[in-house]
């Protein structure tokens, strides 16, 4: 430690201890709960915009302690107003937080005032952003503007999708009408989803396709054992039973990286981003977010075609990743260090002038591994990356709504029963609607509306949806999530954190015999070549013991093992002994690999 310069006279030890004690007492008296709260609120990491300053602390500097210190002056109550967690709050004359002065109803707060409400939709009459199809004409209301699109003029047809009325191509080979009932094509359940046929293979779910009076569905005689992997969340407990608590950064604020196109015409972007962040943190608490960085991207992103969502997601999810930038540093050692500073995890948010949809929409997002409401809704293998896209015509809560999708929430008007696997222990609330048991039935805005107090009104159906739910389409009311929705978002964020390390498969080499070879809900799969390393991939739809043609289809630690070749070739998703998901009941057998596998997974 540094050496003190010599002085003529050193104070005595007793005097020094008295001075330290006095300073400690003064600091404790100044560090009031209100000041602590202000520091927790305003001392955030660097963001895209400087946060508003905390209300001035007018308390005088502390004087030296005395034997009988005078009574401190009283602080004038309700001396000023300032923004706190999205609402307007009173602060006393000393700067301490008091009571809420005004609720901003989810719109956010700026400079001590609630953000103005978006343009009223009253001018649109009975139309809202969800819209409806009248023949081939799609009509919707976006921020108070009535939009009518004749889909036929665009060589398209008007279809009611889960996102509302949309013009979809006429020449789509998989085109279908939403009213078409589900049918069985052998073991495959064929559904019409958002105007396109989607096939669900019942056999990979250990079920059969069966038609009945209420339509076709995947039905099984016995329930499946729970395969939900435990993940760590920020709650002070060892959720994943690895003898550690709240590890892996689960309690850290989540960086958001804003990607902004060059020359984009985005009005009041910084102020809107700040407001959207406040709403996001209020709605998704205890999860907390921060703007980590703003990055300019090419002007071609000023408009965005949703068809490019997956490819753009991969690019923007890697662009600021420390793992990706590490490869860049290795390839370009002369690059300036500041340009290569990234994040171990972040959520990519692309701001664009317009989404190329007819009628336009305010935002879109990727789902985590094709899951929504805890249920897989597609057999197609999914990538581990994700992206949120927000258009200029968005509401203050749109970021919170799209973040809900990014973390695995459905719309409250979703109909998951069409994708469900039914057995004798199926729970109705997890197999229907949005898959969340504490959200009430929501027929959607085609059958329900709401009054000025945000009470939902459904004249023709026996339902009472919650119009204030952020995942609904009751615009002007959305401001909260239920406790079960919040639990699912916490789990979704923990899964996303784990998957982020595997955006580039080269960074996710794994040992198929290890018990925890990969992040939760990923499996260790062989590389493309015989001598290639095994890599972690997101779980597919196929359960262990079911047929496969590629390892990307397999889940729960299984890989696709071919047991024979030729015309009678057979392959099944097979777990290595000792792998995650194999369990104690696995009967191990030798099949000529460097490790043994579970005999019960082999096809007979």
Confidence class for position 56, pLDDT limits 50, 70, 90 = very low
DSSP code, position 417 = G
Confidence class for position 14, pLDDT limits 50, 70, 90 = very low
pLDDT in the model for residue 79: 87
Based on the fold, state whether residues 267 and 377 are members of the same structural domain. Answer: yes
CA distance 139 to 125: 11
Residue 12 predicted with pLDDT over 70: no
User: Which residue would you say has higher pLDDT here, 104 or 41?
Assistant: 104
pLDDT in the model for residue 339: 63
User: Which of 471, 498, 525 is at the close of a domain?
Assistant: 498
User: Which of 103, 126, 143 is at the close of a domain?
Assistant: 103
Residue 457 predicted with pLDDT over 60: yes
Residue 527 predicted with pLDDT over 80: yes
User: Which residue would you say has higher pLDDT here, 254 or 335?
Assistant: 254
- CA-nearest of 394, 292, 413, 414 to 351 is 394
Domain annotation covers residue 160: no
Based on the fold, state whether residues 424 and 493 are members of the same structural domain. Answer: yes
Based on the fold, state whether residues 273 and 397 are members of the same structural domain. Answer: yes
Domain annotation covers residue 139: no
Confidence class for position 570, pLDDT limits 50, 70, 90 = confident
Which residue is listed with tokens 């990491």? 45
pLDDT in the model for residue 72: 56
CA distance 411 to 473: 8
Based on the fold, state whether residues 304 and 258 are members of the same structural domain. Answer: yes
Confidence class for position 74, pLDDT limits 50, 70, 90 = confident
Q: What is the mean pLDDT of residues 256-260?
A: 98
Based on the fold, state whether residues 524 and 490 are members of the same structural domain. Answer: no
CA distance 505 to 385: 12
- State the total domains in the chain: 4
pLDDT in the model for residue 8: 39
Residue 26 predicted with pLDDT over 70: no
User: Which of 430, 464, 498 is at the close of a domain?
Assistant: 498
Confidence class for position 292, pLDDT limits 50, 70, 90 = very high
Confidence class for position 124, pLDDT limits 50, 70, 90 = confident
- Name the least confident of 91-105, 115-129, 437-451: 115-129
Based on the fold, state whether residues 549 and 600 are members of the same structural domain. Answer: yes
Based on the fold, state whether residues 417 and 300 are members of the same structural domain. Answer: yes
Q: What is the mean pLDDT of residues 11-38?
A: 38
Domain annotation covers residue 3: no
In percent, the amount of the chain with pLDDT more than 90 equals 60
- CA-nearest of 259, 279, 262, 283 to 349 is 259
Q: Please state, rounded to an integer, the average pLDDT across all residues of the chain.
A: 84
- Name the least confident of 24-33, 165-174, 412-421, 586-595: 24-33
419-451: per-residue pLDDT in tens?
999 987 878 899 899 999 999 999 999 999 999
Beta strands in 85-131 (DSSP E): 87-91, 97-102, 109-110, 113-114
pLDDT in the model for residue 82: 86
pLDDT in the model for residue 83: 84
Confidence class for position 546, pLDDT limits 50, 70, 90 = very high
Based on the fold, state whether residues 341 and 297 are members of the same structural domain. Answer: yes
User: Which residue would you say has higher pLDDT here, 11 or 264?
Assistant: 264
Confidence class for position 136, pLDDT limits 50, 70, 90 = very high
Residue 308 predicted with pLDDT over 80: yes
Confidence class for position 59, pLDDT limits 50, 70, 90 = very low
Which residue is listed with tokens 């860049």? 328
Domain annotation covers residue 174: no
Confidence class for position 359, pLDDT limits 50, 70, 90 = very high
pLDDT in the model for residue 440: 96
- CA-nearest of 454, 406, 359, 305 to 143 is 359
Domain annotation covers residue 43: yes
pLDDT in the model for residue 43: 33
How far is the CA of 488 from the CAs of 64, 406, 407, 437, 522, in angstroms?
53, 11, 8, 12, 18
- Name the least confident of 16-20, 79-83, 479-483, 503-507: 16-20
Domain annotation covers residue 599: yes
Residue 327 predicted with pLDDT over 70: yes
* Token pair recorded at residue 285: 């608490």
DSSP code, position 99 = E
3-state secondary structure of 484: helix
Q: State residue 407 phi and psi, 5-degree precision.
A: -100, 5
Domain annotation covers residue 151: no
pTM for the model: 0.81
pLDDT in the model for residue 3: 41
Based on the fold, state whether residues 286 and 377 are members of the same structural domain. Answer: yes
Based on the fold, state whether residues 550 and 584 are members of the same structural domain. Answer: yes
Confidence class for position 583, pLDDT limits 50, 70, 90 = low
Instruction: DSSP for 227-286, please give it.
Output: -------SSSS-TT-SS-SS-TTTTSPEEEEEEEETT---TTHHHHHHHHHHHHHHHSTT
pLDDT in the model for residue 565: 67
Residue 113 predicted with pLDDT over 90: no
Pairing status of strand 87-91 against strand 80-84: antiparallel
206-254: per-residue pLDDT in tens?
999 999 888 899 999 888 877 678 899 999 999 988 889 998 889 999 9
pLDDT in the model for residue 229: 82
* Token pair recorded at residue 6: 């010599």
Based on the fold, state whether residues 488 and 535 are members of the same structural domain. Answer: no
Domain annotation covers residue 16: no
* 570 contacts: CB under 8 Å, gap ≥ 6: 547, 562, 563, 564, 603
In percent, the amount of the chain with pLDDT more than 70 equals 83
Residue 118 predicted with pLDDT over 80: no
pLDDT in the model for residue 514: 87
Q: What is the mean pLDDT of residues 135-158?
A: 93
Range of the domain at 51: 27-103
Partnered with residue 561 across adjacent β-strands are: 572
Confidence class for position 116, pLDDT limits 50, 70, 90 = low
DSSP code, position 88 = E
Q: What is the rounded (10 degree) CA torsion for 579, 584, 585, 586?
A: 30
Based on the fold, state whether residues 41 and 62 are members of the same structural domain. Answer: yes
Confidence class for position 117, pLDDT limits 50, 70, 90 = low
The Cα angle at residue 272 between residues 270 and 277, in degrees rounded to 5: 95
Confidence class for position 53, pLDDT limits 50, 70, 90 = very low
pLDDT in the model for residue 52: 38
pLDDT in the model for residue 38: 32
CB burial of residue 283 (10 Å; 0-12, 13-18, 19+): buried
Q: What is the mean pLDDT of residues 261-286?
A: 96
CATH number of domain containing 415: 3.40.390
21-36 as b/e: b if 16+ CB within 10 A: eeeeebeeeeebebbe
């Amino acid at each position: 430690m540094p050496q003190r310069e010599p002085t003529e006279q050193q104070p005595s030890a007793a005097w020094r201890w008295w001075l330290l004690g006095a300073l400690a007492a003064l600091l404790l008296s100044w560090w009031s709960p209100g000041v602590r709260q202000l520091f927790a609120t305003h001392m955030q990491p660097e963001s895209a915009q400087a946060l508003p300053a905390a209300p001035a602390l007018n308390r005088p500097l502390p004087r030296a302690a005395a034997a009988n210190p005078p009574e401190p002056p009283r602080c004038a109550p309700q001396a000023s107003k300032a923004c706190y967690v999205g609402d307007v709050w009173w602060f006393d004359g000393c700067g301490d937080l008091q009571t809420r002065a005004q609720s901003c109803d989810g719109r956010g707060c700026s400079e001590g005032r609630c953000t103005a409400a978006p343009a009223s939709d009253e001018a649109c009459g009975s139309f809202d952003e969800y819209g409806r199809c009248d023949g081939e004409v799609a009509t919707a209301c976006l921020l108070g503007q009535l939009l009518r699109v004749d889909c036929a003029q665009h060589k398209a047809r008007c279809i009611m999708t889960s996102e509302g009325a949309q013009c979809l191509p006429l020449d789509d080979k998989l085109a279908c009408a939403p009213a078409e009932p589900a049918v069985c094509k052998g073991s495959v359940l064929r559904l019409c989803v958002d105007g396109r046929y989607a096939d669900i293979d019942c056999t990979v779910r250990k079920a059969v396709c069966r038609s009945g009076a209420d339509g076709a569905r995947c039905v099984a005689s016995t329930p499946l054992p729970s395969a939900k992997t435990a993940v760590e969340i920020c709650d002070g407990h060892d959720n994943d039973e690895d003898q550690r608590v709240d590890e892996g950064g689960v309690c850290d604020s989540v960086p958001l990286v804003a990607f902004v196109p060059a020359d984009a015409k985005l009005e009041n972007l910084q102020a809107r981003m700040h407001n959207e962040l406040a709403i996001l943190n209020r709605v998704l608490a205890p999860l907390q977010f921060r703007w980590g960085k703003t990055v300019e991207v090419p002007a071609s992103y000023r408009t965005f075609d949703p068809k490019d969502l997956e490819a753009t997601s991969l690019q923007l999810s890697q662009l600021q990743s420390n793992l990706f930038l590490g490869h860049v540093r290795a390839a370009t050692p002369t690059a300036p260090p500041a340009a290569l500073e990234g994040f171990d995890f972040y959520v990519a948010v692309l701001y664009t002038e317009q989404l190329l949809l007819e009628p336009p929409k305010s935002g879109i997002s990727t789902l985590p591994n094709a899951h929504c409401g805890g249920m897989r809704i597609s057999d197609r293998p999914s990538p581990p990356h994700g992206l949120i896209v927000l258009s200029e015509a968005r509401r203050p809560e749109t970021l919170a709504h799209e973040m809900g999708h990014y973390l695995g929430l459905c719309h409250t008007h979703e109909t998951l029963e069409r994708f469900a696997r039914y057995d004798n222990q199926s729970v109705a609330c997890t197999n229907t609607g949005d898959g969340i048991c504490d959200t009430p039935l929501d027929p959607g805005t085609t059958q329900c509306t709401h009054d000025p107090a945000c009470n939902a009104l459904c004249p023709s159906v026996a339902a009472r949806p919650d119009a204030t739910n952020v995942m609904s389409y009751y615009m002007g009311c959305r401001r909260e999530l239920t406790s079960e929705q919040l639990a699912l978002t916490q789990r979704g964020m923990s899964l996303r954190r784990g998957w982020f390390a595997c955006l580039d498969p080269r960074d996710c080499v794994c040992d198929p015999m290890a018990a925890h070879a990969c992040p939760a809900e990923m499996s260790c799969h062989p590389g493309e070549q015989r001598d290639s390393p095994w890599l972690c991939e997101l779980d597919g739809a196929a359960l262990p013991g079911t047929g496969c043609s590629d390892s990307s289809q397999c889940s729960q630690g299984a890989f696709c093992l071919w047991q024979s070749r030729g015309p009678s070739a057979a392959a099944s998703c097979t777990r290595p002994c000792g792998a995650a998901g194999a369990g104690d009941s696995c009967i191990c057998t030798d099949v000529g690999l460097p490790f043994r596998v579970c005999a019960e997974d082999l096809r007979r």
